[in-house]
């Protein structure tokens, strides 16, 4: 079997590479290889069981057509200032131009026409003044909110468009290795995702790796094995914070998502908010090595009484240690150990008091956890001192912007770890030092989030059309 283009991973960057080729009437023979299922076959049993059953051979929340994006909040950040370092590679104006173009594609497939965070200028000014007072920076970013259920509908339409255009998609298939000969990418070696057997060699002229954040471990191994040039990336260690909607009411109304950045003393590491979900639900993701990672999402119609958002502390490593992904995994493993394989939840006040949270104490608070099987415990015994202090000091600063945010009953869930891939060295065509091998999206280390990953896919299609 030989194809013109082989795309590894059916996340946003891989999908939009294929979609834009189809939209441009390309005659190339395209293959997408995806470890998980079709989007209409993805289903998390937790909706019925109320607890994670640790699905095998993969988690349906993180794996399958559209990747974790289909089961996330589905927010499209419409500013080049948000979503990773791609503007450093292609230029800010080009990045914004491509965001606007890609946004139109999402609209064609049914995205909500409403844009959050573009009105109420006086209210935004007030929030910015409070952020400055707290030593934080408010990043302006219009948001198009798809919603978890609507995102799945949109990506289902895209999936059907690709299949109708004769794009081949091999589901339940893993890429075990790349075929590289004399510095040239020739193809991939695949196997059945469930049995790990029936290895096949599939050849292609152009190989596009778009394995997403879920594939960070795999891509790191591939880079080391085949001498693909890369640099150690960043790892974000954090928590998912949950408060009552009343606390976040004004920010939710004005901005929908408040993107705040700070450098709290004493370490002055970068700390930021991420993925804010008004009326949302805290959720769990499972990785291949059985790590339980907390996340959050919100629906367009179904709402809770709480708002959740991540607070992430960024860390970089160089000499003598330069394995940020392994570091993040170890932190997550320790938190999981204390939670007996489950997500831990603790009250902010209990962390300050140096004590664990007990289940009966959660029942006494105004903030009722939206993750039903989270285990009350002690995050302070697992998250390292430096990121934990960064997070606590950031929460204290947030209280100036959003009074009540640092309430003693505010809930902190862990671990929330962002396993960003090592940053792959790419040229202007997104090609690695291996001829014919390209890397895209979050797996490349150049993007973070749905929109920028989608943009990189669109640009990839333009380069190989």
Mean pLDDT, range 358-382, rounded to an integer: 95
Q: Say what the pLDDT of residue 273 is.
A: 97
Two tokens, residue 417: 């770890």
- pLDDT of the residue at 51: 78
Q: What is the DSSP letter of 442?
A: H
- Residue 200's pLDDT is 94
pLDDT tens digits, 389-418? 999 999 999 999 999 999 999 999 999 998
Average pLDDT, the chain: 93
Domains annotated for the chain, with CATH where assigned, are 2-111+147-230+424-464 (3.50.50.60), 121-141+234-418 (no CATH)
CA dihedral (275, 281, 286, 290) in degrees, to 10, reads: 110
Q: What integer is the mean pLDDT of 318-345?
A: 91
Among residues 157, 388, 348, the alpha carbon closest in space to that of 243 is found at 348
- Spell out the residues 6+ positions from residue 169 whose beta carbon is closer than 8 angstroms to its own: 10, 31, 32, 33, 34, 38, 65, 159, 162, 163
H helix or E strand, kind and range, residue 249: helix 245-255
pLDDT interval class at 61 (50, 70, 90): confident
Residue 268 has pLDDT above 80, yes or no: yes
Q: Where are the beta strands (DSSP E) in 129-252?
A: 136-138, 143-145, 168-170, 173-181, 184-192, 200-209, 230-231, 234-244
Determine the number of helices (DSSP H) and then strands (DSSP E) in the chain.
14, 21
Does pLDDT of 44 surpass 70?
A: yes
Strand partners, 418: 236
Whether the predicted model's global pTM rises above the 0.85 cut: yes
Euclidean distance between the first and final Cα of the chain, in Å?
Answer: 21
Digit-coded pLDDT (tens) for 62-119: 888 998 876 777 889 999 999 999 999 999 999 999 999 999 999 999 999 999 887 7
């Amino acid at each position: 079997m030989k194809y013109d283009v082989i795309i590894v991973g059916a996340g946003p960057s891989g999908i939009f590479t294929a979609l834009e080729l189809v939209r441009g009437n390309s005659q190339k023979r395209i293959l997408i290889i995806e470890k998980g299922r079709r989007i209409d076959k993805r289903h998390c049993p937790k909706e019925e069981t109320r607890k994670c059953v640790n699905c095998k051979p993969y988690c349906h929340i993180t794996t399958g057509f559209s990747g974790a994006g289909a089961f996330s909040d589905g927010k499209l950040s419409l500013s080049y200032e948000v979503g990773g370092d791609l503007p450093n590679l292609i230029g800010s104006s080009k990045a914004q131009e491509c965001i606007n173009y890609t946004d139109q594609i999402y609209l064609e497939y049914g995205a909500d026409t409403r844009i959050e965070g573009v009105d109420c200028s006086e209210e935004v000014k007030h929030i910015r003044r409070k952020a400055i007072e707290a030593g934080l920076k408010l990043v302006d970013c219009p948001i198009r909110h798809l919603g978890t259920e609507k995102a799945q509908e949109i990506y289902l339409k895209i999936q059907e468009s690709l299949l109708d255009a004769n794009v081949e998609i091999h589901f339940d298939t893993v890429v075990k290795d790349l075929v590289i000969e004399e510095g040239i990418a020739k193809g991939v070696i695949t196997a059945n995702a469930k049995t790990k057997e029936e290895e096949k060699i599939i050849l292609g002229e152009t190989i596009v790796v778009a394995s997403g954040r879920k594939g960070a471990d795999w891509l790191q191994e591939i880079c080391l094995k085949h001498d693909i040039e890369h640099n150690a990336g960043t790892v974000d260690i954090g928590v998912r914070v949950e408060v009552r909607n009343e606390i976040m009411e004004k920010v939710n109304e004005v901005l929908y998502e408040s993107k705040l950045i700070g450098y709290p003393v004493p370490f002055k590491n970068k700390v930021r908010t991420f993925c804010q979900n008004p009326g949302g639900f805290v959720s769990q993701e499972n990785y291949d090595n059985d790590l339980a990672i907390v996340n959050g999402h919100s629906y367009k119609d179904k709402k809770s009484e709480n708002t959740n958002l991540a607070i992430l502390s960024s860390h970089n490593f160089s000499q003598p240690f330069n394995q940020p992904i392994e570091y993040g995994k170890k932190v997550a493993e320790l938190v999981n150990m204390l939670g007996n394989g489950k997500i831990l939840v603790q009250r902010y006040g209990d962390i300050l008091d140096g004590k664990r949270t007990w289940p009966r104490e959660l029942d006494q608070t105004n903030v009722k956890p939206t993750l039903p099987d989270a285990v009350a415990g002690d995050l302070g015994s697992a998250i390292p001192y430096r990121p934990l202090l960064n997070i606590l000091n950031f929460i204290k600063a947030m209280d100036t912007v959003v009074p009540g945010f640092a309430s003693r009953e505010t809930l902190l869930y862990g671990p929330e770890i962002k396993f960003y891939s090592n940053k792959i060295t790419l040229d202007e065509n997104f090609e690695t030092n291996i001829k014919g091998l390209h890397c895209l999206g979050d797996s490349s280390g150049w993007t973070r989030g749905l929109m920028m990953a989608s943009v990189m896919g669109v640009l990839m299609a333009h380069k190989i059309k």
